[in-house]
Structure 1
Amino acid sequence: MKPLSERSFFFDAGEGHSLHVALFGNPGGVPVVFLHGGPGSGCNPGQRALFDPDRHFVVFVDQRGAGKSLPPRSRHANTTAHLIRDLEALRQDLTLPRWLVVGGSWGTTLGLAYAQAHPAACLGLALRAVFLGTRAELEAAFVTRLSTFYPDLFAALLARAGQQAPLEAIWRQILDPDPQVHRSAAFLWYDIERALSELRPASTTHSLRAADAPLPATPFMEASYFLNDCYLQPGELLENAGKLAGIPGILLQSRYDLLCPPSGTAALAARWPEAELRFVEVAGHSVSEPGVTAALRQAIRDLSEV
């Protein structure tokens, strides 16, 4: 059968949300669901390079309010529980008995939460840069490591958000309805996150944007989720790791990831015996870091043969 590399559609998730879904690869191949990061970033065609179109049948889904899903940037009825329900409804609609779950960063958060809720639906999990969705991880990344490695950006954050609880302050500014408030806050957050995402970032400073510069989408969804602890109970994903028993997994970790460092991934691996921890040396958070894409492609290939 001809690969469905160009087939896409909108899936009615209810509550006013229509999810953009793109199918890629061999309908008779190993089913895979790809979970993008952010939250809020959406899928892109370049992510197809992770998969073998002859071996895999990949479901790329833009989560609520992300990518091409409608309405854009909508935070109404948009929580982790809603996203888990969407994935399971989509799997059943596509009549896929089980699928391989692939994700990075926020995609690992959602992937773990989904697998813990629906373990029987998972062939395996290939997860890159594990984020357990905790406030402690965010404080460590955007306060401790930001101030250590990028003090100028940290100073810009404090100047904008104040000394007390700067993360909550900047997130609330991003969600402020006044464009005079949220535009500059969103661009600052975007610049900070980009610097922390790469081992050798192209820019380590915050720059002012023109009044008509298009706003990045992810800061708004991230602010909503992060203010609400990713709509998870404290430590939930680690405490419920036992629900992953029997599911094979490969945890891919860049050694010098400033956003999602090895400690979180190692903590998960210690509670999930079926998971194999693999390191990519001399690499940062982004999937575009040297060696990361190839390592993730290999992890997907290996789990496809289990």
Structure 2
Amino acid sequence: MYPDIQPYDQGFLNTEDGHQVYWELCGNPQGKPAIFLHGGPGGGCSTAHRRLFNPERYKVLLFDQRGCGRSTPHASLDNNTTWHLVSDMERLRTEVLQSDQMLVFGGSWGSTLALAYAQKHAAHVSALIVRGIFTVREKELLWFYQEGASHLFPDYWEDYLAPIPEHERHDLIGAYHRRLTGNDRAAQLQAAHAWTQWESRTISLLPSIAHQQDHAADDAALAFARIENHYFVNKGFMKEGQLLRDAHLLHGIPGVIIQGRYDACTPAATAWALHQAWPQAEFHLVADAGHAFDEPGILARLLAATDQFS
């Protein structure tokens, strides 16, 4: 990755409906405008995300989506939907980036948000880079949170099941929702850590202690699990299959799709479906990678893509 850099400007976007959204600008103030969309939802940005862009060529805006990272109020689900985030992106584009167009870069849930934004505001997207494709279809949610990936990681799955009594396990997303939004702080945290660790343990092709520590703190785990579960209970606040159905709206946008073949969180079938629906975009299926952006084969493709559009 590119060397560590510090923001040259930062602040908060007042959404005027109860949220303060943290943002930062990095790189070259006269560079190509770009926006980075983190995963989760509920994950927040990290210093490593700044390093995916050549700081001499890009003016990069990173922001913590509603309720997570440095944004406040912490772990809030109020006025927190895909379309609220798309609106935040539009305000950040005009008020902070101050640009008519921007490169949009998103991985995992960030790919969902990137596709949603680009389909609604195609004229403002100069290029689109998406990784670990996730479109919030019911079968994608069931694969990872009900049954599917459980067959690959039966040991980790036992820990994911642990907070949920047997009689509630027919709907694990719903059962987790009741605990994550309940008033019992101990039950909230137990559910938050179990939910978060399930993803953290399965995100990479090989075990990674660093990934397992990403959301280890109580506050980070709670924001990640609460917000992610809230979006999934509500099917991403979209119609079933919407992002693939409307992929034709992307056809004028230069794009790159990057996917790990052995991604257990967001299996390659969804990336392949997007590739078929949006054949104009470059498609890279990385043979020896899982879901994480920092796996060598995926990282190399991501850096090549940002260089390509700079």
Choose which of 229, 234, 239 in structure 2 pairs with 1:228.
Answer: 234
Letter aligned with residue 28 of structure 1 = Q
Q: Which residue is 1:288 aligned to?
A: 294
Q: Which residue is 2:82 aligned to?
A: 80
Residue 51 of structure 2: SS of its match in structure 1? helix
Residue 14 of structure 2: SS of its match in structure 1? strand
Choose which of 265, 269, 272 in structure 1 pairs with 2:275.
Answer: 269
Q: CA deviation at 1:59?
A: 0.5
Choose which of 293, 297, 308 in structure 2 pairs with 1:302.
Answer: 308
Q: Which residue is 2:108 aligned to?
A: 105
Residue 130 of structure 1: SS of its match in structure 2? coil
249-258 or 169-178: bigger deviation: 169-178
Q: Which residue is 1:115 aligned to?
A: 118
| Deviations, residues 202-221 of structure 1 (Å, cap 9, x unaligned) | 47xx9xxx9x9555131111
Choose which of 153, 158, 163 in structure 2 pairs with 1:155.
Answer: 158
Q: CA deviation at 1:300?
A: 1.4
Matches within 5 A, 1:47-86: 47-86=49-88
Residue 132 of structure 2: SS of its match in structure 1? strand
Q: Which residue is 1:192 aligned to?
A: 198
Letter aligned with residue 38 of structure 1 = G
TM-score normalised according to structure 1 size = 0.91
| Deviations, residues 241-263 of structure 1 (Å, cap 9, x unaligned) | 11112011100011110011111
Q: Note the residue ranges of structure 2 that are not aligned, 5 or more in a row.
A: none
What percent of counterpart residues are identical? 38
Residue 163 of structure 2: SS of its match in structure 1? helix
Residue 144 of structure 1: SS of its match in structure 2? coil
Q: How many residues align?
A: 296
Distance in 1 separating the partners of 2:294 and 2:284: 17
Letter aligned with residue 154 of structure 1 = W
Contact 2:132/2:258, CA 8 A, preserved across alignment? yes
Q: Note the residue ranges of structure 1 that are not aligned, 5 or more in a row.
A: none
Letter aligned with residue 24 of structure 1 = C
Q: Which residue is 2:12 aligned to?
A: 10
Choose which of 134, 139, 162 in structure 2 pairs with 1:136.
Answer: 139
Distance in 2 separating the partners of 1:4 and 1:197: 27
Contact 2:37/2:114, CA 8 A, preserved across alignment? yes
Q: Which residue is 1:255 aligned to?
A: 261
Choose which of 13, 24, 27 in structure 1 pairs with 2:26.
Answer: 24
Residue 148 of structure 2: SS of its match in structure 1? helix
Distance in 2 separating the partners of 1:151 and 1:302: 40
Contact 1:35/1:60, CA 8 A, preserved across alignment? yes
112-121 or 130-139: bigger deviation: 130-139
Choose which of 238, 243, 251 in structure 2 pairs with 1:237.
Answer: 243
Distance in 1 separating the partners of 2:220 and 2:57: 38
Distance in 2 separating the partners of 1:156 and 1:35: 29
Q: CA deviation at 1:147?
A: 2.0
Letter aligned with residue 172 of structure 1 = R
Q: CA deviation at 1:175?
A: 2.0
| Deviations, residues 189-247 of structure 1 (Å, cap 9, x unaligned) | 111111220111247xx9xxx9x955513111111111111111111111111111201
TM-score normalised according to structure 2 size = 0.90
Distance in 2 separating the partners of 1:152 and 1:160: 15
Distance in 1 separating the partners of 2:10 and 2:257: 29
Q: CA deviation at 1:174?
A: 1.9
The root-mean-square deviation of aligned C-alpha atoms, in Å, is: 2.0
Letter aligned with residue 75 of structure 2 = R
Q: CA deviation at 1:159?
A: 4.3
Contact 2:173/2:229, CA 8 A, preserved across alignment? no
Distance in 1 separating the partners of 2:83 and 2:261: 31
